[in-house]
Structure 1
Amino acid sequence: MTTPAAVVQAQLDAYNAKDIDALMGTYAPDAQQFTLHGPLLAEGSEQIRPRYVARFAEPDLHARLLSRTVLGNIVIDLEVVTRNFPEGKGAVEMLCIYEVVEGRIARASFAVGPATLYAG
């Protein structure tokens, strides 16, 4: 049996590889994504996939795991994500909370810190 931490790590690995099929394989077909304590961002594969496809177009996209906490089927990651913003290359801290059900991510909530642009 795959552990919740292994599912989330596979999602992170696929994100950094920009492998949309592998990433979508970690999500349940009816998964939901939310802002933390906020509105629904996307529901189901047909809404989640295009969000990642658009993000994967960023040439410098990369998420670096700072910490991971696992409590049963809940996995909480703190990451620094390098992004290509309209103003230039930079990074944001993200808190990602995943609920894994039957070996796939069923719900995910994200809190995003302010963007920090790299000098240069």
Structure 2
Amino acid sequence: MPPISPQAIVQAQLDAYNAKDIDALLATYAADAEQYQLHGDLLARGHEQMRTRFLTRFAEPDLHARLLSRTVMENIVIDFELITRNFPEGAGTVEMLCVYEIAGQRIAKASFAVGKTTLAAASSS
């Protein structure tokens, strides 16, 4: 099987996220992968913790990640995304910076920085 590029692995992860396909999404991550807040706390370690975290997010009816830009440097992929979410205050979007480290054809480590949140009601007034 030919090697899959880091960019293709991260794109497969994004496609699975938008399709809310938990099995396809977890297939892009190493079994012991770790997710962090950028320069901060551990969010999840391993498929079981990630499954719980993603399935909670997948319950949001409007969930969708739109890729705004992507930078690839060898095995590091950095995505800047605009995520449509259903917040307790209502529907809206949040900026997200996602840094993925690829090892062995899987995402080994991911770090996320959460940016500005905009509620839909606020943008229409």
Identify the TM-score tier after normalising by the shorter chain.
over 0.9
How high is the sequence identity, in percent, across the aligned residues? 70
In structure 1, what is the Cα distance between the partners aligned to 2:48 and 2:59?
A: 18
Q: Deviations over 1:55-106 (max 9, x none)?
A: 0000000000000000000000000000000110000000000001011000
TM-score in terms of structure 2 length: 0.94
Query: Which of 94, 97, 100 matches 1:95?
Result: 97
Any runs of at least 4 consecutive aligned residues in structure 1 with deviations exceeding 6 A, and if so which? Answer: none
In structure 2, what is the Cα distance between the partners aligned to 1:69 and 1:115?
A: 23
SS of equivalent to 1:54: helix
1:86 equivalent in alignment to 2:88: yes
- Where in structure 1 are there 5+ consecutive unaligned residues? none
In structure 2, what is the Cα distance between the partners aligned to 1:70 and 1:6?
A: 11
**Alignment-mate amino acid for residue 17 of structure 2:** Y
In structure 1, what is the Cα distance between the partners aligned to 2:116 and 2:97?
A: 12
In structure 2, what is the Cα distance between the partners aligned to 1:19 and 1:44?
A: 17
Name the residue aligned to 2:31. Answer: 29
TM-score in terms of structure 1 length: 0.98
Structure with higher Rg: it is: 2
- The residue correspondences of 1:1-120 to structure 2 (distance < 5 A) are 1-119=3-121
SS of equivalent to 2:116: coil
SS of equivalent to 2:14: helix
Root mean square deviation of aligned Cα: 0.7
Give the drift of 1:46.
1.2
**Alignment-mate amino acid for residue 21 of structure 2:** D
